[in-house]
Structure 1
Amino acid sequence: MSTIREVAKAAHVSVATVSRVMNEKGYVSEKSRKAVLQAIKQLDYRPNRVARSLFQKRSGLIGLIVPDITNPFFPQLARAVEDMAHQHGFQVILCNTDEQFQKEREYIKSLEAMHVDGLIITTNYSNNPNYEELEVPVVALDRVLQGAIPTVTSNGYEGGKKAASLLLEAGATELAVISGPSKLPTIKKRRDGFEEIAGTHLVASIESPFHFQGALDAANYLFDHYHCNGIFAASDVIAAAAIQVAAERGITIPDELQVIGYDGIELGQMISPPLTTIAQPIYQMGELAAKLLIQRIEGTPIAAVHHELTVEIIERETTKRKDEEA
């Protein structure tokens, strides 16, 4: 691999002149500029990204921190972030924390050392003080962080209300909610909205991890301790776990038990029976988060700090249609 010194030697100029040509800063005669460009082409010179970032004050890198890459929700978010970043000449570095605070902190340090231009965070630690102290722009995605950090979320409170209303309209009378970790404000809103509409029909409200095995344990606990004929799960993965446990126990869906998830991931269409869900606009959320971050990187004022996108019901086969009610 060629070096900047070899380019300078081939072009018969100084290293400083090569740097000025590459970064388009400072005076360089036309003759020298052409000589440098020709040498770069002949030697197939590709400048070290970090070294170049020291000159340009821009690395072209964005860090994306997710808590669990095995959860299908996050790859769909990442795809949208990467698409928008690529359109604007940025590359995305994906960091999976496995929901571990220490690992998350280590990634933050590593990304700072790589001179990333900004970070998009989908952390499970919303009270992490490290983000307020960062010197690069930060945007929170599907999460709410402390301070004035811009956020992109969906309207989970309204989503929870929609889920309860649909179950009641479909004839369910004993409702349960399997929430995600209540320490996450976005998850708490989903549960609160559901419980408001469920009212006296609510028979159980429990928490579950987002990963599938933990959700299986939570579903088993629910069926062991409560009787219900309508479940709202705070994620589609949790809903899939509830459906599997119900099948293992011989509970038919939707005749004996109706289930609604939350997210709208592609997995919901693949399970049997296909899942009714409260769908977040996942792609638009990732796209907007990346757009906001790029605006902050470029110093462009953003119109609002908190962006809450609307959700919609996608009815499939885990809930009854009104004309199917017993």
Structure 2
Amino acid sequence: MAATIRDVAKLSDVSVATVSRVINQISTVNPETQKRVKKAMEQLKYEPNLVAQGLASKKTQTIALILPNISNPFFSDIVRAVEDVAQSNGFTVILCNSDGLVSKEQSYIEVLRKKYIDGIVFASNTLRIEDIEQLKKDNISLVVLDYSSTMESCSIIRAKNREGARMAVSHLLEIGCKKIAHIYGPIGDQTAKNRLEGYEEMVHSFSWYSPTLLVPGHFTINGGFEATKMLLEKHPDVDGIFAGNDLMAVGVLKALHQMGKKIPEDLAVCGFDGIYLTEITQPELTTIAQPIYELGEKAAKILINKINGLLEEDNVYELDVTLIKRDSTIKAH
């Protein structure tokens, strides 16, 4: 039969209330008494009731991960990393898929606040300043993936999106592209905005540049497909496309195949993210690869450190990206 808190109290010769205070790390307990209680817990192999402990301390060893779209392989890798870190630190993860909807995200936040959640990782472009302020009042730690650096009141983890976009365009120019278009993600998404800005920094001085070379693709395969058809109707002489994420780039490849274009001889394509799909497309897709697992891993580690009181300052952490050259830009000799 499993040991109870009363068994621990009896063996350590203290009250049940004192054992409870030791379990919940309340500092009013004498250090010698704490040692005696912890030794009794070890001898009896006593496992505290986490639910009861959570109610007393408002800590449940539980974190949440709010994502806009779990079907995107990028976020699948983020989930894996966060779960791995959480499990190794004794935390449970609640996964919330917001579909990029403010109303759905607000509903999740309200529910999580009532559940004594310890912290939240947001991979979201709909998080509001007022949400951050309220969560801090509730003593709920948070870390945000890919968000604006103007939000100084929380820790932010992101890749070097603007720099990666410049790398993509530079590569397309180096292989001889004379007119490069950009298919961008959702308006209001900070990641999409930074990648678009990186593209414009590289091409705005060219005589061929026009704002009509910018086409929305909504970060989806179908969005990239439709954007490519619209783009080439206006600019049939485009010979390079930088897609703001790999899903849109997959849609670009699909559209070009249907239009009878040779890749990369007629038109070269570069994506961004480095998801596994880029290795199985025909042709394989050149991409700017983020360290996706590392992003999720770092976010989870920082969040848990904040929960445990080991990190107080909020910082912006930017991780390097890498150009991976594949057949969608490497012309056959």
Q: Are residues 1:150 and 2:151 paired?
A: no
Structure 2 unmatched runs, 5+: none
Aligned equivalent of 1:221, options 230, 239, 246: 230
Aligned equivalent of 2:168, options 163, 167, 187: 163
2: CA distance between counterparts of 1:138 and 1:235? 26
Letter in 2 for 1:121: F
2: CA distance between counterparts of 1:35 and 1:197? 63
User: Paired residue for 1:309?
Assistant: 319
Q: What CA deviation, in whole Å up to 9, does each residue of 1:44-67 have, x standing for no partner?
A: x873x4432122342111111000
Q: What CA deviation, in whole Å up to 9, does each residue of 1:161-200 have, x standing for no partner?
A: 1111111111111110001123122221111111221232
2: CA distance between counterparts of 1:154 and 1:255? 31
2: CA distance between counterparts of 1:29 and 1:269? 55
Are the equivalent residues in 1 in contact too, given 2:152–2:314 (CA < 8 A)? no
Q: Which sits farther off after the overlay, 192-201 or 96-105? A: 192-201
Letter in 1 for 2:78: L
Deviation (angstroms), 1:34: 5.5
User: Paired residue for 1:296?
Assistant: 306
User: Paired residue for 2:192?
Assistant: 187
Deviation (angstroms), 1:10: 12
CA change 1:23–1:128 in 2 (3 A) is closer
Q: What CA deviation, in whole Å up to 9, does each residue of 1:117-176 have, x standing for no partner?
A: 111111121545312321311111122373421111111111111111111111111110
Are the equivalent residues in 1 in contact too, given 2:180–2:241 (CA < 8 A)? yes
Q: Are residues 1:198 and 2:203 paired?
A: yes
Aligned equivalent of 1:231, options 241, 248, 259: 241
Deviation (angstroms), 1:11: 9.3
- Matched residues, number: 316
Letter in 1 for 2:107: E
1: CA distance between counterparts of 2:209 and 2:330? 19
CA change 1:14–1:180 in 2 (3 A) is same
2: CA distance between counterparts of 1:230 and 1:316? 14
CA change 1:303–1:100 in 2 (3 A) is closer
Q: What CA deviation, in whole Å up to 9, does each residue of 1:187-243 have, x standing for no partner?
A: 211111112212324350112212333333323322333221100011000100111
2: CA distance between counterparts of 1:133 and 1:235? 32
Aligned equivalent of 1:245, options 246, 255, 258: 255
Q: Which sits farther off after the overlay, 297-306 or 148-157? A: 297-306
Are the equivalent residues in 1 in contact too, given 2:65–2:94 (CA < 8 A)? yes
1: CA distance between counterparts of 2:188 and 2:227? 17
Q: Are residues 1:109 and 2:116 paired?
A: no
CA change 1:291–1:22 in 2 (3 A) is closer
Letter in 2 for 1:224: E
Aligned equivalent of 1:141, options 135, 141, 145: 145
Are the equivalent residues in 2 in contact too, given 1:260–1:277 (CA < 8 A)? yes
Letter in 2 for 1:174: K
Letter in 2 for 1:263: D
User: Paired residue for 1:121?
Assistant: 122
Q: Are residues 1:209 and 2:209 paired?
A: no
**RMSD in angstroms over aligned alpha carbons?**
3.1
2: CA distance between counterparts of 1:197 and 1:154? 19
TM-score, normalised by the number of residues in structure 2: 0.83
Identity among equivalent positions (%) equals: 36
Are the equivalent residues in 1 in contact too, given 2:164–2:321 (CA < 8 A)? yes
2: CA distance between counterparts of 1:146 and 1:273? 40
User: Paired residue for 1:274?
Assistant: 284
User: Paired residue for 2:80?
Assistant: 79
Letter in 2 for 1:317: D
CA change 1:215–1:37 in 2 (3 A) is farther
Q: What CA deviation, in whole Å up to 9, does each residue of 1:55-100 have, x standing for no partner?
A: 2342111111000001110011111122222222222111100111
CA change 1:18–1:37 in 2 (3 A) is farther
Letter in 1 for 2:178: T
1: CA distance between counterparts of 2:254 and 2:269? 11
Letter in 1 for 2:59: R
2: CA distance between counterparts of 1:61 and 1:29? 27
